[in-house]
Amino acid sequence: MRKPSIVWLTLLLVIASILFSSCQPGQITGTFSPETSEPVQTSTTESETAPGLTLDSSTQSEPVDGTTPTQIQPTPTPIVETRLSPEQWREWPVVPELTGREQAIYRLGQELGNDPQSFSKVGDCQAIKDVLMGIYDQPNRYYLTDNDAYLQETIDYFAGSFGRDGQGVRGGFNAAAVINPFLADPEACSAGETPIECEYNIHQPSFVIISLEVWWDGRTVERYEEYMRQIINFYISNGVVPILSTKADNVEGDHRINLATAKLAYEYHIPLWNFWRAVQSMPNKGIDPNRDGFHISYEAWTVRSYTALQALDAVWRGVRDQQTQTVVETEQPENTFDPASILISPDPIEMPAGLNGEILLFSVMQRTGEVLWPQGIYAYNIEDQTLYQILASGYKLEDINTETNTLLVSKDQQLFTSDLSGKNLYEITADLAITSRDASAFWMPDGIHILMLTEDNEANTLWMVNPSDSTRTSLAQGEITGILKPGSDGMIYWYEGTCEPDLPCEDVTLWRLNDGEPEAFAALDRVVFANSGNEYSWIKPSGDTNLILYTRDADQTGQNFTYLPGNRWVDMSWSPSKDQLAILSVTRSEYTGKSSDARIFVVNTNTMISKEYLSFPGLNPSFTWNINHNELLLTSTLLVDQSYQLNLSQLDLGAGTFTPLNEEINFQSADYLTINKLFWIIPITNGGQ
């Protein structure tokens, strides 16, 4: 039931103008400066009894309904501060440790009539249900391992709270906005209510996750703390246990926001969910490299929801069990891969000595929780619809030498050569570099040598390797973030850049080896070369809805360009015939981060005239050309019957028609699945080239 409210905060506000930034840092539309009295701060010094633990009148503000709260005077309970100092927040555990004050706050809330089975969220576009925990209100959309089965009790207990955004969440919300009554929804909130007052009165939560991510130039950390204190004091005075959160990005450059948040959690003796730490092992530290350095990647959404659920579970169990001192594990358990089963049809069989017809060669990846794991390498005969398994779980495809049918495969940081049967593995290195570009090993066009990137303590090293006699030659060393597959001209290209923790790589430059010497080639971070090596292409955004495709000769002359719809390109490849270029583009919502179906374009690189085909649905779309350059094989991931399914389809470029392969070949699981590398080949035993 909704509680009555009064305009209590409005009397304290002097509005100069409204501050309301979007989820993109750096955009400001005015200022908002509430004039308030300084909140009473709890002491940050360690003592046997935490200041304010009894929640007496010195730490309580008037609740939003104007009534006098029931005064609870529990016996002061010693708080043993087991957490590290705020300055050591990077080492704080992902799942928060409890101090004991949470219990007193929770008891006050129960006296005030808060719903023990409700929680709310306060945040911006990265707190909406699509990104943060909404999945847990959708049965069969999530999977819990045996180790995580205990979390189902928490999911069941708080059912109905996960799948709502509430009035405290909106794209663009920040610490100032959520206490601004002019930004409350007039259709849901009473006049003068702030968004957080409105949400409290509607939902009456016992817990609240506060995850305010936005930062922009000009905002001081002192102002952030001022607004956060108002938010924290509001919830504590109304008996709602606040759970603060660190953020994944470091847009401000020195982590001042995360440090300030840790200081507040330490001072108020309230839980901190250290989301920043949870994404440190992810590619690009969980930040989407194709956006603004602020938004997290799609893969990080799962980690965000999972660790937030763990945090909520730990706090709820701590107060539920009436424990006056609750300390959860300070480290997350080691990542263990306990995947859901994968339904594969037809049943894969062992690779025979000889193959007939056109073959699709690919490796499958499966994500469970924070772990993305290779689930084997497969070959599919398009003509007789036979599926073969070349290598089992743990192995990932890197490249194929079509002259000899020899594969490059990896397992963790080991790199091997293998024949198509997968039975003759030969180790090349145990130090293969793992980069976010997923581009660390390729065959050279001579069919003899391998180009590979290894990881050393201080720098990555680029090598030319002859696997027949194990000789290797160092070509370059430094902050190398990935290499490009060499074209028929044998030219070697690689990316170098400065990769700071928590931020996308910056100052990226494409380098090449020219007459044995490294030289800077272009200040571009994502290019695709024609098979001949004589031309290359890249794409730049043009406004919010268009892209510009550029092509240029490798001697840096003869540049052309054309416009294409979309605001993000997801895949691009030259055809074997050189004069065609296929591109997949999407339009991605800045509010939810969701992308449209992929639009397919084939551009004649002589005339720069493009032809568009029907769009292709699914997440993580990609494609490869067939050897005759008249068809594309497209792949993506679909959500079908509450599980993930690999989506494969042939596109006839002449007729413009699709031939779905999902009925002939099916990979399906409750865990997210995707195809890592994809090749469309004709093995040399059957006339392939």
User: What is the reported pLDDT for 589?
Assistant: 62
Highest mean pLDDT among 181-185, 278-282, 391-395: 391-395
pLDDT band for position 286 (cuts 50, 70, 90): confident
User: What is the reported pLDDT for 192?
Assistant: 66
User: What is the reported pLDDT for 592?
Assistant: 41
CB atoms within 10 A of CB 84: 16
Strand, helix or coil at 462?
A: strand
The per-residue pLDDT for range 146-160, each reduced to its tens digit, is 999 999 999 999 999
User: What is the reported pLDDT for 371?
Assistant: 62
User: What is the reported pLDDT for 273?
Assistant: 95
Nearest C-alpha neighbor of 476 from the set 490, 492, 462, 457: 462
User: What is the reported pLDDT for 84?
Assistant: 87
Which range has the worst mean pLDDT, 123-137, 300-314, 561-575? 123-137
User: What is the reported pLDDT for 421?
Assistant: 87
User: What is the reported pLDDT for 216?
Assistant: 55
Query: What would the mean pLDDT of 291-300 be, rounded to a whole number?
Result: 76
Distance of CA 573 to the CA centre of its chain: 25
pLDDT band for position 213 (cuts 50, 70, 90): low
Which residues make beta-bridge pairs with 440? none
The per-residue pLDDT for range 181-204, each reduced to its tens digit, is 767 776 677 766 788 999 999 999
Highest mean pLDDT among 31-40, 211-220, 426-435: 426-435
Q: Tell me how far apart the alpha carbons of residues 569 and 610 are, in angstroms, rounded to a whole number.
A: 15
Q: Residue 262 pLDDT > 80, yes or no?
A: yes
Strands (E), 286-395: 342-345, 349-350, 359-368, 371-381, 386-391
User: What is the reported pLDDT for 351?
Assistant: 81
- What does DSSP assign to residue 53? T
Q: Tell me how far apart the alpha carbons of residues 58 and 76 are, in angstroms, rounded to a whole number.
A: 15
The per-residue pLDDT for range 225-259, each reduced to its tens digit, is 999 999 999 999 999 999 999 988 888 888 899 99
Query: What would the mean pLDDT of 119-136 be, rounded to a whole number?
Result: 89
Query: What would the mean pLDDT of 126-147 be, rounded to a whole number?
Result: 87
User: What is the reported pLDDT for 10?
Assistant: 34
Nearest C-alpha neighbor of 581 from the set 596, 569, 593, 568: 569
Where does 112-255 have alpha helices with state H? Answer: 151-157, 195-203, 221-237
Strand 609-616, strand 517-522: pairing: unpaired
Mean pLDDT estimate for the chain = 81
User: What is the reported pLDDT for 506?
Assistant: 64
The per-residue pLDDT for range 476-491, each reduced to its tens digit, is 999 898 999 999 999 9
Of 27 and 222, the one with more pLDDT: 222
User: What is the reported pLDDT for 218?
Assistant: 60
Of 688 and 144, the one with more pLDDT: 144
Q: Residue 628 pLDDT > 50, yes or no?
A: yes
User: What is the reported pLDDT for 151?
Assistant: 95
Q: Please state, for a pLDDT cut of 70, what percent of the chain lies above it.
A: 79
User: What is the reported pLDDT for 329?
Assistant: 36
Residues near 6 by Cβ (< 8 Å), separated by ≥ 6?
64, 65, 66, 192
CB atoms within 10 A of CB 165: 18
Nearest C-alpha neighbor of 145 from the set 391, 321, 316, 373: 373
User: What is the reported pLDDT for 39?
Assistant: 31
Residue 647 token pair? 């989506």
Nearest C-alpha neighbor of 492 from the set 478, 475, 480: 475
Residues near 424 by Cβ (< 8 Å), separated by ≥ 6?
418
Phi, psi of 653 (to 5 degrees): -70, -25
Does the pTM of the predicted model rise above 0.85? no
Residues near 664 by Cβ (< 8 Å), separated by ≥ 6?
346, 385
The per-residue pLDDT for range 488-547, each reduced to its tens digit, is 999 999 999 865 443 445 668 999 999 999 999 999 989 999 999 999 999 999 988 899
pLDDT band for position 97 (cuts 50, 70, 90): confident
Q: Residue 123 pLDDT > 70, yes or no?
A: yes
